[in-house]
Amino acid sequence: MLPHTRVEFHTQDEQLQRLYNTAVQKCRNNLNTFAGDQVLVEGGGYEKIWLETQPMGGEMYAKHNMTAALNNHLLFMRHQREDGRLAGSIQGFPDGTVEAQFNKFQGFCFPWSALNMYYWIGEDRQYLDQLADCLERFDAYLWAVRDSNGDGILESWCKYDTGEDNAVRYGDAPNYAIGEVPPEGSSVVPMASMDVMSFSYACRDTLSEIGLIRGDMAAAKKWRAAADEVANTIGQELWDDARGALFDKDKHGHVIDVLCHNTLRCMYWGSVSPYMADRFVKEHLLNPEEFWTPCPLPSVAANDPAFRNAVENNWSGQCEGLTYQRAILALERYGYEKLVTQLGKKLFDVVSKGGLLFVQQFDPLTGAPSIVDPETKEPLPPDTDKEFQDSYGPTLLSVLEYIAHIWGVTMVRGQIWFSLGSGSPYTYEQVWGEHRYRVDSDGKTARAFADGREVYCGECSVRLVTTRDGKILYKVEIE
């Protein structure tokens, strides 16, 4: 039986409380049932579970609903093909049937969250074995199929492989890639891809971690070496040291000269070195002419010729809720906890000022929500009387997750993170099975409790990383 989870968050910051309450309520609207299994769909007009969003989103939602969180991973594992390929999306129908769709990869935000679910559900070894088998088979599939020219760099074959809908840098590439041979007729794809290489890195990195959990040091070392091999290739073949960023290459081996946010994606997967991450963050992510715009994190640097401030679903410019969602792990992996706090507060401000609309995209120059038709994603006037997109899951879950990482509690790899942000007085409690973790704060000082026992009393602006019984392992500054 899965552990019960529940969150209670109360703050004297009325705007933040409204934001939190609205996000919680709208997330419930995205719960659905696929052939008897409760899942959390992407929402905002996207009524499937997608590999690039919903395992990650499900794990974030484990704080509130463990059943949907687990099913958002299990469905992808259950529908894995015999050749190892994972579905890019899974759709449920009213007649109770489910369709696994293999016409694109649609990103791969799966391994890290899937392993964290192992801890959320109580360290079920059968689940761990299933996950290990899934990742090993998918990694083998990638190298059997997606290095079509044998140069040792995995390829993206269509826009939807990396989830970059309408991206200028993909040129004449198709949206879908059906079959196991690269599409013909495009001047860009098959593209040597930092993303798809990182899919493999993430599989191998997680398999190494699973080896350590099992006490199988030979497997841990094997997969660590295999992951490092992929990371080294990314650095040697796709990293431009003069520019401090990663760049993909087209089918002819030419660099695709578009400064996109995808180096940050690779930080999410952990496939870049600390040196590379620091270069990208300091030289590009924090550059107000590029990615640190009034509303940060455009998909393409705001001063790049390929930048398009397009309201409709387009990964060539506007800030995406999904990028904010991935940025949390991406930045925390490399020690940028303070930057996560800054980004979260900027997102809260943008969503609140935009009328508590949880849309897919925001204007990077003004922060205005992009109002679109929920089905077609075509632009609508801001004062439209037609139905428009709202309840977009990645934006909803980003808000809830940033709150948890600034003023709340979360669980990472079996450890408890108490994040004690400053500001208005607040309380945050996370129920996880028989455990109760709580923060009480007046906004300047905070008290942290594990199962009713005080484990900390002191100044805010830090994160406590503790054991499940509240023993403090270390502290990290978050402000």
Give the model confidence (pLDDT) of 417-470 as tens digits: 999 999 999 999 999 999 999 999 999 999 999 999 999 999 999 999 999 999
| pLDDT (0 to 100) of residue 8 | 98
Neighbours of 312 (CB within 10 A): 18
Q: Which among 328, 327, 228, 242 has a CA at the least distance from the CA of 273? A: 228
> Phi, psi at residue 374, to the nearest 5°?
-65, -25
Neighbours of 132 (CB within 10 A): 21
| pLDDT (0 to 100) of residue 403 | 98
Quick one: which H or E segment has residue 464? Answer: strand 462-466
Bond prior to 3 in cis (omega within 30° of 0): no
* Average pLDDT of the residues of the chain: 97
Task: Answer whether residue 57 shows pLDDT above 90.
Answer: yes
Three-state SS for 312? coil
Give pLDDT tens digits for 306-355.
Answer: 999 999 999 999 999 999 999 999 999 999 999 999 999 999 999 999 99
Reported pTM: 0.97
Q: Which among 8, 28, 214 has a CA at the least distance from the CA of 118? A: 214
Task: Give the span between the Cα atoms of 110 and 59, in whole angstroms.
Answer: 10
Neighbours of 133 (CB within 10 A): 13
Task: Give the span between the Cα atoms of 293 and 302, in whole angstroms.
Answer: 8
* Percentage of the residues of the chain whose pLDDT score is greater than 70: 100
| pLDDT (0 to 100) of residue 382 | 83
- With a CB cutoff of 8 Å and minimum separation 6, the contacts of 383 are none
Task: Give the span between the Cα atoms of 342 and 346, in whole angstroms.
Answer: 6
